[in-house]
Amino acid sequence: MRPFRHRRITAGVALATMLVTAAPPTAASADDSRNRRAGYHRVGYFTQWGIYGRAFPVKKLDTSGAASRLTHVNYAFGNVSEDGRCFVDGGPGEGDAWADYQRPVPAEESVDGVADAWGEPLNGNFGQLAKLKAKHPGLQVMISLGGWSWSTYFSNAARTDASRKAFVASCIDLYLKGNLPVLDGGSGGPGAAAGVFDGIDLDWEWPNWPGEPGNVVRPEDRQNFTELLAEFRRQLDAYGRTTRRHHPLTAFLPANPAAMDAGYEGREIFRHLDFATVQGYDFHGAWDPVTNQQSALRVPSGAPDNPDFSAEVAIDGWLARGAPREKLVLGIPYYGRGWTGVGGSGNGLFQPATGPAPATFEAGYEDYRRLKTLAGNGFTVHRDLRAGHAWLFDGTTFWTYDDPAVVLQKTLYIRRAGLAGAMVWSLDGDDDNATLTKTIGLGLATP
């Protein structure tokens, strides 16, 4: 790490400490000394598709220094079929088996510098994750099931006792036992991916609540989600008795209190989970007619919506519903949300806009590694130190995002609130030096 960068981060620690200490306590942040804990989870999502346009192979987790700062890598995503099974299919819209375990990774992209040969049982991202774990033996890799696009049939999988048993068995067989379908050329086969995945992350978006259009939604999803977790826990524990290991079970949970009440049985779900990651982003975006924050730690003064979302509102919502704070992991974004055609005056916050800001891959959505280059290049960085958020504005275009100072402030909030750690979406949004991941590592370091 460069000396000047170290000095900047150290100064940020002092500033963020002052801000978190000065903030009024809430249910989440009260009782600093009693709630401190050791051994924080540091969870990062690795996207299957990041190897393409973002040019982010698994190797970058090693060369950037990110892997040594993480405790868990969540692989996004595994799909759920209409008949309620975990499956891998290379068909359009169904998956990318080529990226998962068929693609021969060249030497320059390989974690150990050794190129894959065509048709090996385990190529692609899965093979590289196995090599990453060999180099970082303390790192756990989870298969994350669902996500925004692949939660369509979760309700079918969770609907009955029989469907839950079959679904869970299929996921363990495919990912933990590693029994992959054999593809053209020979990749896959019985046990091909055994040992790559340590556990399962459920990313059902959302039980009994609208997600992507077309998702199956049923009122009984709420109870069935709890029953699904119980079945996963039973089968994972049974499998663990054969491997002599504990296989973790986690879930991604919403920030919206209405979705919390509609889809989750509060305290009950945590009986089965090792921990849960809580959505700490997408509070606002270009779907709103005015600029706003997408990931503030606290609701800013003067916010046009009342009530409004924030990271603290989300955490307090789960605590009020019986979640143990020591099982809550706060989500942090490695991307920003943007608007253009911003009117009004001042610093651009809470001003009308004409639509989403132009961006690299998706209008209104840009990775941190690109947003950081805008500061000083026509854009000014603005901060709300009490609310814990930052934004960029050039007089016309507005981006709300988390930079190292905001991330550090959130890690200190996590420590003070006695939470279990931090999660990030997604690792390919960071810069080549893993600046944000290193900041999390610094903020959640234990003596």
Q: Which pLDDT value is given to residue 3? A: 27
User: Are 263 and 206 in contact, with CB atoms under 8 Å apart?
Assistant: yes
CA distance 406 to 436: 10
Tens of pLDDT, residues 170-204: 999 999 999 999 999 999 999 999 999 999 999 99
Q: Which pLDDT value is given to residue 154? A: 98
Q: Which pLDDT value is given to residue 297? A: 98
CB neighbour list of residue 137: distance below 8 Å, 6 or more residues apart: none
Tens of pLDDT, residues 144-176: 999 999 999 999 999 999 999 999 999 999 999
Residues 295-313 as b or e (16 or more Cβ within 10 Å = b)? bbbbbbeebeeeebbbbbb
| DSSP per position, 366-415 | EEHHHHTTTBTTTBEEEEETTTTEEEEE-SS-EEEE--HHHHHHHHHHHH
| CA proximity to 402, closest of 357, 360, 368 | 368
Whole-number percent of the chain with pLDDT over 70: 91
User: Are 273 and 327 in contact, with CB atoms under 8 Å apart?
Assistant: yes
CA distance 411 to 115: 38
Which letter does DSSP use for residue 189 in this model?
A: B
Which letter does DSSP use for residue 246 in this model?
A: -
Domains of the chain (ranges; CATH) run 3-334+407-443 (3.20.20.80)
CB neighbour list of residue 346: distance below 8 Å, 6 or more residues apart: none
Angle at 381 between CA 330 and CA 398, to 5 degrees: 80
Confidence band, pLDDT 50/70/90 cuts, at residue 431: very high
Residue spans of beta strands (DSSP E) within 84-150: 86-87, 140-146
CA distance 206 to 439: 31
Cβ burial, residue 327 (10 Å; 0-12/13-18/19+):
middle
CA distance 167 to 398: 44
CA distance 209 to 207: 5
Q: Which pLDDT value is given to residue 158? A: 98
Q: Which pLDDT value is given to residue 103? A: 98
Which letter does DSSP use for residue 76 in this model?
A: E
Average pLDDT, the chain: 93
| DSSP per position, 285-334 | -TTSSB---SS-SSPPTT-SSSS---HHHHHHHHHHTT--GGGEEEEEES
CA distance 161 to 333: 36
Name the least confident of 24-28, 136-140, 384-388, 389-393.
24-28
User: Are 121 and 187 in contact, with CB atoms under 8 Å apart?
Assistant: yes
Q: Which pLDDT value is given to residue 89? A: 85
Whole-number percent of the chain with pLDDT over 90: 89
Name the least confident of 42-56, 87-101, 431-445.
87-101
Give the position of tokens 């049985």. Answer: 265
User: How far is Cα of residue 272 from the mean position of the Cα atoms in its chain?
Assistant: 20
CA distance 121 to 130: 12
CA distance 330 to 314: 9
CA distance 46 to 360: 19
What mean pLDDT comes out for the span 254-282?
98
- Looking at the DSSP bridge assignments, the partners of residue 7 are none
Q: Which pLDDT value is given to residue 28? A: 57
Tens of pLDDT, residues 212-262: 999 999 999 999 999 999 999 999 999 999 999 999 999 999 999 999 999
Q: Reduced to 3 states, what is the DSSP secondary structure of residue 157?
A: helix
Cα–Cα distances (Å) from 56 to 210, 218, 427, 431, in that order, read: 31, 37, 9, 10
Q: Reduced to 3 states, what is the DSSP secondary structure of residue 425?
A: strand
* Residues with catalytic roles: 205
CA distance 207 to 157: 12
User: Are 64 and 428 in contact, with CB atoms under 8 Å apart?
Assistant: no
Whether the per-residue pLDDT at 19 is higher than 80: the answer is no
Name the least confident of 26-35, 54-63, 405-414.
26-35
Phi, psi (deg, nearest 5) at residue 61: -65, -30
Name the least confident of 83-92, 125-134, 151-160.
83-92
Q: Reduced to 3 states, what is the DSSP secondary structure of residue 355?
A: strand
Q: Which pLDDT value is given to residue 189? A: 98
Whether the per-residue pLDDT at 36 is higher than 70: the answer is no
CA distance 414 to 406: 12
CA distance 137 to 134: 5
